[in-house]
Amino acid sequence: MIKIATFNLFNFIEPPGAYYDFENIYSQEQWQKKLQWIAKYLNEHQPDVIGFQEVFSPKALAELTKSCGLEYFAVLDRPDVVDDFIYSKPVVAIASRYPITEMYSVEADERLAGMMGMQAGFSFSRKPLRATIVLPKLGPCDCYVVHFKSKRPLFDAQTEYCSSQPEIEMKTGQLLAVEALAQWGSSIQRGSEAALLRWAMVERRAQTQFPMLLMGDFNDSLRDGVLASLTSVDTRIKPDPTLGDIKQQLQEYQLQDAYDLYQNSQYSLSSQVRPATYYYFAEGSVLDYILLSSEFDAKNSRSLAEVGRYETYDRHLINPSFDLDSQSTDHAPVMITLSIRR
């Protein structure tokens, strides 16, 4: 069995660094509580491969994961820093018990981005990371870690837009309309990131035929049309019948939600409502996902493994204890267990 997890760390930054604002600095006590909380999760759940988001201090994270038995670690991007201690734009990272043989920072294809109508120089808000990991009995697998653009408006209606129109006094209704535009701009960025990442994954797959795993904070529901490109199979393209099974051709480059694969497996015990991974006030939503290629679909004739377990660790969100969880995270880590097929 192989355990794969995704974990948004929520402002993982070692003091005296500050996240976003000079006042946001952990005390040593707070920092140690955060390290202990993460280590407790890693030691109790024992993931073999885990993708991380909101990483400001990669070196500290590498040391922590190594102490928990995850010998291998990869991070390629760097957060922005101002005045030597105020950090923004956190990065993604990955840790593994098994060797990482290659790592790559995924870039947006400029030509395709232009064909989609994006401005020149379009880039991911946070660069996705691809790590090729040699997993037992599966061999090399391409593991992608992502943190798509958040739902925060792309610009501020009152400060950025109104300041560019000082001669116009904006009414509430107008401000709401501008805010809706800013919100949609964020969705355009997030959806474009998803579509361009899928292309990058498919291009890599065509070259190597390695199994693919995509994990991370999607900042949106996978059921939402904004992210539909990640798993969509609707097409007007007709597969070539001379190349073999048409269904197999379509599935070869398809990604599927690990939760759905688990629900359709022999291991699923119930069809309960899917646990939320994030709460905004009292409303829960699923933002954190693990997607898998056809090698992990038991119904595929070429499958190598199947999803034997799906876990959402949400105790700190549902019933938090201040003493235990005050420096935890605002997301629920998600972990799946892959059972190797014999």
State the amino acid at position 340 in one-letter form.
I
SS3 of the chain: helix, strand, coil, percent, to 5: 30, 25, 40
CA 288 – CA 268 distance, rounded (Å): 20
CA 114 – CA 192 distance, rounded (Å): 11
Mean pLDDT of 305-331: 94
Residue 290 pLDDT: 98
Mean pLDDT of 132-140: 96
Confidence of residue 48 (pLDDT cuts 50, 70, 90): very high
Confidence of residue 301 (pLDDT cuts 50, 70, 90): confident
Confidence of residue 246 (pLDDT cuts 50, 70, 90): low
> Can you give the pTM of this predicted structure?
0.92
Bridging pattern class, strands 18-19 and 86-88: parallel
Find which of 169-178, 232-241, 274-283 is predicted with most confidence, using mean pLDDT: 274-283
CA 211 – CA 140 distance, rounded (Å): 7
The position carrying tokens 């799946």 is 336
Residue 239 pLDDT: 63
- 68 CB-near residues (< 8 Å, 6+ apart): 39, 42, 43
Look at the domain 2-149+191-340 and name its fold. Deoxyribonuclease I; Chain A (3.60.10)
Q: Please, is 218 exposed, middle or buried when counting C-beta atoms within 10 Å of its C-beta (0-12, 13-18, 19+)?
A: buried
What percentage of the chain carries pLDDT values higher than 90?
Answer: 68
The 10s digit of each residue's pLDDT in 74-129 is 999 999 998 888 999 999 999 999 999 999 999 998 999 999 888 888 999 999 99
The mean pLDDT of the chain is 89
